[in-house]
């Protein structure tokens, strides 16, 4: 069992830092390259949501909590931004509240597909919290930690 | 994030490399659109993704945006050599029905 917490400002330049930090934290669990890539993508999606939707380009704090438990990585990514009015609609593939902005509406779908467990809790005016977990070892035998 | 263009016959090749996310997309969008404008009138644009080490759903929005721009010029769009990470997202999004993987 291990834990880590990251807290950073909602600037897009922090996305690469956040996904790589979580990936580095997960390495002792010996994920495959593909599993690690799934985690990085899911983190990137969640953090992008905080920046683009939660704070809508303004500045605020994003918190990433990571916990390992056996072969499982648990993540909690939250903001204190504007929240989601209709979570059910936001979860629909291809739905985006920013239709004029070349947004794919695939963020939540990717998080749900790439991670083992996923849930989102949001309150308008308070913020949004995404919880995700991934169990490693179900897929390919190649291990990222031993790959280089 | 790097973008390089190359014209071969009637094809415009666009090589993307680096990490495509919310932070890097604006600059690569501007440069790619300029390249497309300069090469309007060709038949096809082929996006080579071999150097794209990371992409999230921002990349889907970017590619669909370029698809719409190319369509106005009557140019078809294709994707080639995506890395496994990008390929997984592209397949999930169904984008290959708009811009086939060759």
Residues spanned by the domain of B32: 2-97
Q: Any idea what DSSP says for residue B102?
A: -
Question: Do A41 and B89 count as a contact with CB atoms less than 8 A apart?
Answer: yes
- Is residue B42 situated within a structural domain? yes
pLDDT for the residue A144: 53
Active site residues of A: 45, 49, 103
Q: How many residue contacts between A and B have a Cβ separation below 8 Å?
A: 63
The mean pLDDT of B8-20, rounded to a whole number, is: 97
Give pLDDT tens digits for A10-31: 999 999 999 999 999 999 999 9
pLDDT for the residue B64: 96
- Is residue B102 situated within a structural domain? no
Question: Do B22 and A48 count as a contact with CB atoms less than 8 A apart?
Answer: yes
pLDDT for the residue A148: 43
Helices marked H in B5-83: 25-38, 57-72
Question: Do B56 and A48 count as a contact with CB atoms less than 8 A apart?
Answer: yes
CA distance B88 to chain A (A): 9
Residue B6 has pLDDT above 70, yes or no: yes
pLDDT for the residue A104: 86
Mean confidence (pLDDT) of chain B: 97
Residue A70 falls in which region: left (phi positive, over 0), alpha (psi -120 to 50) or beta: left
Q: For every residue of A125-148, which 3-state class applies, written as one string?
A: CCEEEEEEEEECCCCCCCEHHHCC
In this prediction the pTM is: 0.92
Q: What is the CATH number of the domain that holds B9?
A: 3.30.750.24
Give pLDDT tens digits for A85-117: 999 999 998 888 887 788 888 999 999 999 999
Give pLDDT tens digits for B47-75: 999 999 999 999 999 999 999 999 999 99
Question: Do A15 and B92 count as a contact with CB atoms less than 8 A apart?
Answer: no
- Is residue B86 situated within a structural domain? yes
Best mutation target, A15, A35, A39, A140, to test chain B (most B CBs within 10 A)? A15
pLDDT for the residue A141: 52
Closest residue on chain A to B68 (Cα)? A102
Give pLDDT tens digits for A40-76: 999 999 999 999 999 998 999 999 999 999 999 999 9
Residue pair B75/B42 in contact by the 8 Å Cβ criterion: yes
How many structural domains comprise chain B?
Answer: 1
Best mutation target, B68, B86, B89, to test chain A (most A CBs within 10 A)? B89
Q: Looking at the domain that runs over A2-147, which CATH code has it been given?
A: 3.30.565.10
pLDDT for the residue A70: 93
Q: What percent of chain A has pLDDT over 70?
A: 93
């Amino acid at each position: 069992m291990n834990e880590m917490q990251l807290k950073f400002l909602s600037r897009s330049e922090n996305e690469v830092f956040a996904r790589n930090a979580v990936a580095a934290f997960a390495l002792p669990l010996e994920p495959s390259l593909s599993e690690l890539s799934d985690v990085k993508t899911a983190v990137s999606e969640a953090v992008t949501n905080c920046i683009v939707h939660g704070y809508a380009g303004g500045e605020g704090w994003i918190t990433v909590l990571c916990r390992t438990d056996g072969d499982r990585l648990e993540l909690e990514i939250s903001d204190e931004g504007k929240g989601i009015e209709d979570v059910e609609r936001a979860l629909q593939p291809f739905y985006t509240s920013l239709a004029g902005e070349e947004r794919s509406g695939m963020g939540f779908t990717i998080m749900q597909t790439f991670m083992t467990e996923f849930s989102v809790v949001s309150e308008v005016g308070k913020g949004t919290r995404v919880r995700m977990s991934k169990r490693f070892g179900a897929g390919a035998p190649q291990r990222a930690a031993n790959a280089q | 994030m790097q973008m390089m263009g190359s014209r071969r016959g009637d094809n415009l090749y666009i090589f993307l490399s680096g990490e495509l996310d919310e932070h890097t997309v604006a600059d690569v969008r501007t440069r790619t659109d300029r390249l497309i404008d300069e090469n309007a009138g060709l038949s096809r644009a082929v996006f080579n993704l071999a150097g794209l080490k990371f992409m999230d759903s921002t990349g889907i929005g970017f590619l669909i945006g370029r698809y719409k721009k190319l369509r106005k010029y009557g140019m078809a769009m294709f994707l080639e050599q995506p890395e496994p990470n990008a390929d997984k997202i592209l397949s999930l999004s169904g984008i290959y029905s708009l811009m086939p993987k060759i």
